[in-house]
Chain A
Amino acid sequence: MKLNKTTLTIGAVVLLILPLIAGQFGNAWVRIIDIALLYVLLALGLNIVVGFAGLLDLGYVAFYAVGAYMFGLLASSQLTDTFPGIAAMFPHGLHTPWWVVIPLGALLAGTAGMLLGAPTLKLRGDYLAIVTLGFGEIVRVFMNNLDAPINITNGPKGITGIDDISMFGVHFGKTGSFMGLEFPKVTNYYYLFLALVLFAIMVCYRLERSRIGRAWMAIREDEIAAKAMGINTRNLKLLAFGMGATFGGVAGAMFASFQGFISPESFSLQESVIIVAMVVLGGIGHLPGVIVGALLLSALPEVLRYIAGPLQQLSGGRLDASILRQLLVALAMIGIMLSRPRGLWPSPEHGKDSTPDTLPVSPHMHLAPGEQIPPVVTHIKPDAQ
Chain B
Amino acid sequence: MDTFIQQIVNGLVLGSVYALVALGYTMVYGIINLINFAHGEVLMVGALTSWTVVTALGKSGLPGWLLLIIGLVAAIIVCCTLNYTIEKIAYRPLRNAPRLAPLITAMGMSLLLQTLAMIIWEPTYKSYPILLAGEPHSIGGAVINNVQILILVVTAVTLSGLMYLVNKTKLGRAMRATAENPRVAGLMGVRPDQVISATFIIGAALAALAGVMYAANYGSAQHTMGFLPGLKAFTAAVFGGIGNLAGAMLGGVLLGLIESFGAGYIGAITGGVLGSNYQDIFAFIVLIIVLTLRPSGLLGERVADRA
Contacts and interface: CB of A to CB of B under 8 A. Distances in A.
B35 A130 contact: yes
A137 B104 CA distance: 19
Contact of B35 (A129, A142, A273): A129
A384 to B, nearest CB: 7
Contact of A134 (B98, B122, B283, B295): B283
Interface residues of B, number: 56
Contact of A123 (B109, B116, B272, B304): B304
Interface stretch (A74-82, A180-188, A275-283): A275-283
Interface stretch (A27-35, A335-343, A365-373): A335-343
B33 A385 contact: yes
A346 to B, nearest CB: 9
Contact of A337 (B96, B108, B281): B108
B99 interface: yes
A232 interface: no
A112 B12 CA distance: 35
A323 B104 contact: no
Interface of B is mostly: helix
A266 interface: no
Contact of A130 (B89, B108, B227, B238): B238
B280 A127 contact: no
A145 B278 contact: yes
B135 to A, nearest CB: 36
A138 B281 contact: yes
A127 B295 contact: yes
A23 to B, nearest CB: 32
B133 interface: no
Interface of B: 29, 33, 35, 89-90, 93-94, 96-105, 107-109, 111-112, 114-116, 118-119, 122, 182-183, 227, 231, 234-235, 238, 242, 272-275, 277-278, 280-281, 283-285, 287-288, 291-292, 295, 304-307
Task: Please list the 4 inter-chain residue pairs (A to B) with the smallest Cβ-Cβ separation, ordered nearest first.
Answer: A333-B108, A134-B284, A341-B97, A330-B112
13 contacts: A122-B292, A124-B305, A127-B295, A130-B35, A135-B284, A142-B281, A223-B307, A318-B122, A323-B115, A327-B115, A333-B111, A334-B90, A342-B101
Interface of A: 50, 56, 119-120, 122-127, 129-131, 133-135, 137-138, 141-142, 144-145, 148-149, 223, 269-270, 273, 276-277, 280-281, 284, 318-319, 323, 326-327, 329-334, 337-338, 341-342, 384-385
